[in-house]
């Protein structure tokens, strides 16, 4: 057995020396791909309406949770409109009266039909009059029900208009910049605050197409990122591989999510992604 294994090893060495296996073995190599990091979420926040800033609830550098109000515009008129619409919608007196009338007329009509059929003590004209009165009452009830639904929708619209006066955090993060002070008036869609979520980072780079086709979302890769005077070696997970090759450069964009613990890495620093590739060079 040992002689057979030794003989096999000798054959492999011979083939390598002869150049038969060298090309295949040389195809696999570790490729270092450079790139930059950025926060997982990074947005400039604005409001779709014009107004004067009445309150600012957080300072720059503050951490806010998703859904918290960062600042608010003057909203006295909008608040009053919400209250008015709510009172109109919740006033059910007219509808309740119509419902009761339909129930009463319906009961009377049923009794009249029974009398007409059994004893004929009520005339056909009187029965038809009661039927018409009942039908009118039903139509009025349906009109009021539709009116109540319209009032409910108008109340919800008023609430949405009021909500547009507050700048809410779309995700949890840190306010890195406020572009407005209390008392200032801002037009619609003008940036008011800069919000960053640096709980995770994104490593962004480009690779050549032969490497890009070997990368898939969910694949774990090694990253070496600048962390002060040292280099942090961490694991990342590919979250996106551009399905389109840039015709000008021949490169594909790749994004890798990586954890940030205790602020050990500041988004914006450079780094590299290390992968095993076959016969291809890295992108820029």
186-220: pLDDT as tens digits? 999 999 999 999 899 999 999 999 999 999 999 99
Is 9 a residue whose pLDDT tops 70? no
User: What confidence tier does 263 reach under pLDDT thresholds 50, 70, 90?
Assistant: confident
CATH of span 44-72+169-194: 2.40.50.100
Sign for the CA dihedral angle at 116, 121, 127, 130 comes to: negative
- Cα–Cα distance between 75 and 77 in angstroms, integer? 6
Q: Are 219 and 241 in contact (CB under 8 A)?
A: no
Using alpha carbons only, what angle is made at residue 41 by residues 159 and 217, rounded to the nearest 5 degrees?
Answer: 120
Residues 6+ apart with CB under 8 A from 148: 89, 92, 95
Q: Are 194 and 242 in contact (CB under 8 A)?
A: no
pTM for the full predicted model: 0.71
CB burial class (10 A; 0-12, 13-18, 19+) of residue 200?
A: middle
CATH class given for the domain over 27-41+197-278:
mainly beta
Is 264 a residue whose pLDDT tops 90? no
Number of H helices, E strands in the chain: 6, 12
């Amino acid at each position: 057995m040992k002689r057979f294994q030794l003989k096999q090893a000798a054959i492999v060495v011979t083939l390598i020396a002869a150049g038969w296996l060298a090309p295949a073995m040389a195809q696999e190599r570790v490729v270092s791909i450079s790139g930059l990091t950025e926060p997982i979420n990074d947005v400039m926040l604005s409001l779709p309406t014009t107004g004067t800033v009445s309150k600012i609830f957080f300072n720059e550098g503050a951490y806010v949770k998703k859904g918290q109000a960062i600042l608010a515009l003057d909203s006295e008129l909008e608040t009053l409109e919400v209250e008015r619409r709510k009172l109109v919608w919740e006033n059910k007196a007219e509808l309740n009266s119509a419902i009761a009338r339909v129930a009463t007329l319906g009961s009377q009509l049923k009794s009249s039909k029974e009398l007409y059929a059994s004893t004929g003590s009520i005339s056909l004209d009187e029965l038809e009059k009661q039927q018409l009165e009942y039908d009118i009452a039903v139509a009025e009830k349906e009109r009021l029900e539709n009116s109540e639904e319209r009032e409910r929708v108008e109340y919800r619209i008023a609430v949405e208009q009021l909500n547009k006066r507050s700048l809410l955090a779309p995700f949890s993060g840190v306010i890195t910049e406020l572009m407005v002070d209390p008392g200032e008036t801002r037009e619609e869609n003008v940036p008011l605050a800069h919000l960053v979520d640096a709980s995770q980072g994104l490593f962004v780079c480009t690779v050549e197409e032969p490497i890009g086709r070997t990368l898939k979302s969910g694949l774990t890769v090694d990253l070496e990122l600048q962390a002060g005077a040292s280099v942090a070696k961490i694991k990342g997970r590919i979250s996106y591989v551009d399905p389109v090759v840039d015709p000008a450069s021949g490169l594909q964009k790749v994004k890798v999510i990586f954890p940030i613990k205790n602020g050990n890495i500041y988004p914006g620093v450079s780094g590299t992604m290390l992968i095993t590739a076959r016969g291809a060079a890295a992108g820029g």
